[in-house]
Amino acid sequence: MKMIHKPIFFTLTLLTVGFIACKHNPQEEVTPVLNNPGNNTTNDSVSFQTEILPLLVGNCAMTGCHDAASAAEGVVLNNYNNVINTAKVIAFNPNNSELYEVLLETDPDKRMPRPPAAPLTQAQIALIARWINQGARNTNIVRCDTNTFTFGAVQTIINNNCGGCHSSANPQGGINLSDYNNIKQQTQSGKLLGSINHLPGNSAMPKGGNKLEACKITIIQKWAAAGYLNN
Ligand code: HEC
């Protein structure tokens, strides 16, 4: 190439790169579905089925938002394939994954979940980033210690699995599970255990999600049997 053509060449290259970077073709950003069952897990592996999916169902997959029937903006957050494909998750790359980007938005019109719902906590957002950084696999690890049946353990289970659907800002079905007194009251009435055990006559909870793992139900039952300690 002659000297005189070099600046033109570089300008064209820059323009082309700029054009490609700004082009917003969603099809090109979608990672192919990872059919990785996630067998090779370690102690610090994030579990999609028991940790990430319940968060998404409880904070995003409610009626009018991202359940299968509503599918707002085409996004459905009710199972692994739908999460990967419709929320444009790019394995190992949280910052380019739409699922993660929307959690960090500071503009309330763009942030998910939308106000009046509270944003996800820093710990929940960090967990989603770790899951994507580990490859966004369809892992299924049950982590439970049934010897610890404090109210703290119960509240963590409720926060992570019942989340936004039963917050004080938006208590679906009129059921508020945001604090000790409300959780105790719903457990004493039999409604909470009836719904998570899928007993006849109760709405099956978490709505639209997987049944809680047996060990998590055991923790709530042990807490109730021990007299609803507030510890
Ligand atoms: C995606 C939203 C969503 C999630 C997640 C969810 N719920 Fe619900 N819940 C509802 C709705 C909506 C109702 C009202 C009844 C219905 O539509 O089935 C309800 C009703 C209930 C009721 C009243 C049931 C009855 O038979 O009267 C209880 C108790 C309850 N939920 C507990 C829970 C618990 C505990 C969890 C977590 C383990 C949970 N829910 C997770 C949306 C949700």
Q: What confidence score (pLDDT) does residue 120 get?
A: 93
- Mean residue pLDDT of the chain comes to 87
Compute the distance from residue 192 Cα to the ligand 1 centre, in Å. 8
Range among 12-16, 23-27, 200-204 with highest mean pLDDT value: 200-204
* For residue 19, pLDDT beyond 70: no
Q: What confidence score (pLDDT) does residue 39 get?
A: 60
* For residue 228, pLDDT beyond 80: yes
Average pLDDT rounded to a whole number, residues 5-33: 42
* C-beta 205 within 6 A of ligand 1: yes
Average pLDDT rounded to a whole number, residues 129-158: 96
* For residue 184, pLDDT beyond 90: yes
* C-beta 59 within 6 A of ligand 1: no
* C-beta 189 within 6 A of ligand 1: no
Compute the distance from residue 55 Cα to the ligand 1 centre, in Å. 14
Nearest residue to 223 via CA among 143, 155, 142, 175: 155
* For residue 167, pLDDT beyond 70: yes
- Proportion of the chain above pLDDT 90, given as a percent: 75
Compute the distance from residue 59 Cα to the ligand 1 centre, in Å. 12
Planar angle of CA 88, 92, 94, nearest 5 degrees: 55
Q: Looking at beta carbons, which pairs linking 115-122 to residues 24 or more positions away fall under 8 Å?
A: 116/169, 116/170, 117/59, 117/164, 117/167, 117/169, 117/170, 118/164, 118/167, 118/169, 120/55, 120/59
CA 204 to ligand 1: nearest atom: 18
Q: What confidence score (pLDDT) does residue 29 get?
A: 36
Q: What confidence score (pLDDT) does residue 43 get?
A: 86
Q: Looking at beta carbons, which pairs linking 73-77 to residues 24 or more positions away fall under 8 Å?
A: none
Neighbours of 5 (CB within 10 A): 10
* C-beta 218 within 6 A of ligand 1: no
* C-beta 103 within 6 A of ligand 1: no
* C-beta 154 within 6 A of ligand 1: no
Average pLDDT rounded to a whole number, residues 212-230: 97
Protein residue closest via CA to atom 31 of ligand 1? 205
CA 192 to ligand 1: nearest atom: 29
> Residue 170: which pLDDT band, with cuts at 50, 70 and 90?
confident
> Residue 27: which pLDDT band, with cuts at 50, 70 and 90?
very low
Compute the distance from residue 108 Cα to the ligand 1 centre, in Å. 26
- Proportion of the chain above pLDDT 70, given as a percent: 83
Nearest residue to 166 via CA among 89, 69, 59, 12: 59
* For residue 67, pLDDT beyond 70: yes
Lowest mean pLDDT among 17-21, 216-220, 224-228: 17-21
Compute the distance from residue 157 Cα to the ligand 1 centre, in Å. 14
**Residue of higher predicted confidence among 108 and 88:** 88
* For residue 142, pLDDT beyond 60: yes
